[in-house]
């Protein structure tokens, strides 16, 4: 079904200058946004890398332990390997919730002001 309606009007946003970007980057509000992101992302990243390296080290140096059968043909290595995938998805889900609740509103407020919408 074809319509002759005009396309939606583009909203005009003021393009921020370099000085405005620097001013926002130096603002307390942007610093808080950056701290919120770093205080969440860095510890999780370090924790996950440590967890991953533990798995690799156990696989290389603790073959007997990793080969321990838990039930049937399921051993410790398989369970820990699957746990790697599970923790990856859990961290992604957790970060998504954190970003939606904590980071996105702050970032949107900064963006709106920079584009002249506030």
Residue 37 domain flag: yes
- Domain membership flag for residue 65: yes
Residue 77: give the domain boundaries. Answer: 26-114
Mean pLDDT per 10-residue segment, the chain (118 residues): 62 72 88 94 96 96 93 94 96 96 92 75
Per-residue confidence (pLDDT) for residue 118, from 0 to 100: 47
What's the pLDDT at 78?
96
Residue 68's contacts (CB-CB under 8 Å, 6 or more residues apart) are 75, 76
Specify if 97 maps to a domain.
yes
Instruction: For strands 69-71 and 74-75, give the pairing.
Output: antiparallel
pLDDT of residue 112: 87
Q: How far apart are CA 96 and CA 60, in angstroms?
A: 33
| Cα end-to-end span (Å), the chain | 38
* Number of compact structural domains in the chain: 1
């Amino acid at each position: 079904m074809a319509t002759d309606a005009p396309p939606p009007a583009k909203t005009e946003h003021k393009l921020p200058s370099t000085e405005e970007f620097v001013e926002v980057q130096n603002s307390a509000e942007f610093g808080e946004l950056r701290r919120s992101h770093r205080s969440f992302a860095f510890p999780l990243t370090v924790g996950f890398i440590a967890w991953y390296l533990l798995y690799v080290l156990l696989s290389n140096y603790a073959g007997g332990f990793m080969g321990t059968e838990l039930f049937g043909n399921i051993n410790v290595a398989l369970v820990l390997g699957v746990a790697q995938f599970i923790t990856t998805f859990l961290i992604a889900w957790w970060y998504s919730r954190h970003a939606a609740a904590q980071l996105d509103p702050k970032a949107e407020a900064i963006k709106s002001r920079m584009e002249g919408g506030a």
